[in-house]
Amino acid sequence: MLDSQVTVVGAVVVFKTLSHSPRPQGFEFVALTSSFPSGHTTLSFVMFALLAFFSTQITQKKYHWIAWTLACPFIFFVAFSRLYLGAHWLSDILGSFLLGFAIVTVCIISYRRMPNAHSKLHLNSRFAIICLAVGLGIPWLISIPFTFQKNLARYTPIWFQQKITIQSWWNKPLLYTPLYRNDRFGKPFQPLNVQWQGSLDAITQTLIATGWQPVSSQKKLQRVLQRFASIDAQYHLPLFSWLYQDKPPVIFFIKPIPKKNQVIEIRLWDSNIHLQPGNQPLWLGATDILIPPEKLLSLKERTHISLQNAGGLNVLLTNTPRFERKFITVSASEQPNTIQKLEWDGKILLIREPSTPLQ
């Protein structure tokens, strides 16, 4: 067991050194070490899997399932806690499972290759349970009182509120706002090509008046069932909400494209930026064109998004005549590779209330 723990620590350090991945943001303290892989997940996988394996070596075959049934929840909840607390991305957890599985496999093969006289465990079940309870329970009971408050503060999400003048944002928006948002794997996924200053009521009324349709979460089950029976684009929306700063959009609308089985999507998220004077909220958003598969249940095709033809920005520009609007352009060299694959032209649409005085 000690050898396996040393191997885990060494493997995690090597992978963190070779492949640096930034950790999830939004906390007062964010570790500077690589997010990939998760040391907690890898260590718990190896430790509990090997404990389950060695337990099967001292019990009858008909009781082997008990050890694995007890080990699996511990592994799962440790991994889930790293995601829930925001310490790691989903890709970190999946990579840790693979790394842990590889280490466990090597340890079991090494154990089985040892001569039986040296590898046979001479423990009865009762003594093994006592050793396990003492070895795991006492360290946890000791560490929890000393680390609980520290971890509580460390993993409490904090998104700082920012206040800037409207004119500062209007002149140089990218000094204050991100260029893209990440997916659940922590990779750049979609450019934030809309920045909109205004009340949500005014924005909603404007979109509805120009033919945009709100997407209701209450009809999600209906859409899920319909996607198996129809290739209509409106039934192939994402099953899970797209997040920015770990929050779903405050507004999600779609607009069908005439003569095409495609829809334009627009989502707006709270940016935590308030524009002065008036402490007015700034909404960060994204538009894209959703393209469903041409055949149902196709393994070769899947629903995807595209940013060709400005990704619907020109339609949004036309539909917001009462607002002040302007385009800014981001060069291709500033775009991550995953964003460039969407064929984004680099345009970002800024929208603000007309009552805002121009200077």
Residue-wise pLDDT tens digits, 188-239: 889 999 999 989 999 999 999 999 999 877 666 777 777 777 878 888 888 8
Terminal C-alpha separation, the chain: 70
User: What are the structure tokens assigned to 343, written together?
Assistant: 């064929």
Distance CA 285, CA 180 (A): 10
The overall average pLDDT reported for the chain is 84
The candidate with the shortest Cα–Cα distance to 308, out of 334, 337, 347, is 347
Burial category of 293 from C-beta neighbours within 10 Å (exposed 0-12, middle 13-18, buried 19 and up): middle
List pLDDT tens digits, range 63-122. 888 888 988 999 999 999 998 888 888 889 999 999 999 999 998 888 888 766 455 556
Q: 324-329 and 347-352: which strand pairing?
A: antiparallel
Does the pTM of the predicted model rise above 0.75?
no
One-letter identity of residue 20: H
Residue 230: C-alpha distances to residues 264, 280, 292 (Å):
18, 42, 10
Cα Rg for the chain, rounded, in angstroms? 26
Distance CA 19, CA 7 (A): 18
The candidate with the shortest Cα–Cα distance to 306, out of 281, 286, 278, 279, is 286
Q: Would you place residue 358 in the very low, low, confident or very high pLDDT band (cuts 50, 70, 90)? A: very low
- Contact assessment for residue 359 and residue 169, using Cβ atoms and an 8 Å cutoff: no
Distance CA 13, CA 38 (A): 10
- Contact assessment for residue 36 and residue 17, using Cβ atoms and an 8 Å cutoff: no
Q: Would you place residue 265 in the very low, low, confident or very high pLDDT band (cuts 50, 70, 90)? A: very high
Residues 6+ apart with CB under 8 A from 256: 213, 233, 234, 262, 263
What angle (nearest 5°) sits at the alpha carbon of residue 305, between those of residues 301 and 309? 120
